[in-house]
Structure 1
Amino acid sequence: MALRATIYKADINVADNDRGYYGSHAVTVARHPSETEERLMVRLMAFALHADAEDTLAFTRGLSEADEPDLWRLDLTGAIQQWIETGLPDDRRLMKASGRADEVVVYAYGRSADIWWNGIKNKVSRARNLKVFILAPEATQTLAALAGRTMTLNINVQDGTVWVSADKGEASVEIGILR
């Protein structure tokens, strides 16, 4: 019998001073059986960092579908405006995404993120629409501790730092720019 996805519901309140965006979003996210709570919370944080009033950003099938990112923004014709990945995707995936989307954004995290970047940065140098950010492993592990099946996340962004508070505590995540 196959394992089923675990459903998480989150009310996300965003105060992004860097972009001048303030809003609330109720989201339902499926956590794949092989996905960690750390990855789930990084996906939710990425959602908050790119959310807008038009609500055009959407979670995809993610790990269940090889040709889809974790999040994307489509225009009315179905063209991909924004392709957002979390984790350490390979260079071929990023090059393919940069050909399909107007903008590709990666939030790299984990203890080997620096090694991953050093291995692929020359291979993705032609992708002009690629942005790569790195998150400290300690910060994303603290973020993972906030996960709950139902949660309210208050996310404040200022000067490249994300403060997340929930019933279980709080986390501070600095976003480093790799590219």
Structure 2
Amino acid sequence: MGRPTLAPARRPPWALEEALFIDRCTRCDRCIEACPTRILVRMDGGFPGVDFSRGECTFCADCVSSCEPQALLRRDADAAPWAIVATIGEACLAVRGVECRVCGESCPEAAIRFRLQLGGVAQPVLDASGCTGCGACIGPCPTRAIAMRSDNNIPTEREA
């Protein structure tokens, strides 16, 4: 039996495609040191990755500016930092009938709203088109019900 395959780490914003990122990154930690919100951490192999439980990405691009080998590269000012959005899982307190709106209160883009339910708890609705993937909703979630996923095939609303 071989080693288990690990899911790839969430790389810092504006990271190159994984193989090229691994090839270029020198593991110097400059991006980690430059991150004002301290969400960049050393991951497997010493490469930097994002830990949203520590906070959110403000997309300041300090990590990109500090990356001399250009493993993080922002080609133009309008380039998206990554193609991820939040998803709300079944562990969500509101989904389980317990009043909680902390993710919506934490979202700087107001991409998570709550749909009122007659005789029940308001249910979270994620506007995937408004989600920047900043991760502000992840750390405050008391049940860790929120994760980041590639924005491919993500539903724009959670049906209650």
Q: TM class, shorter-chain normalised?
A: under 0.3
Please give the TM-score of this superposition, normalised by the length of structure 1: 0.24
Structure with higher strand content: 1
Structure with higher helix content: 1
Please give the TM-score of this superposition, normalised by the length of structure 2: 0.26
Q: Which has the larger radius of gyration?
A: 2
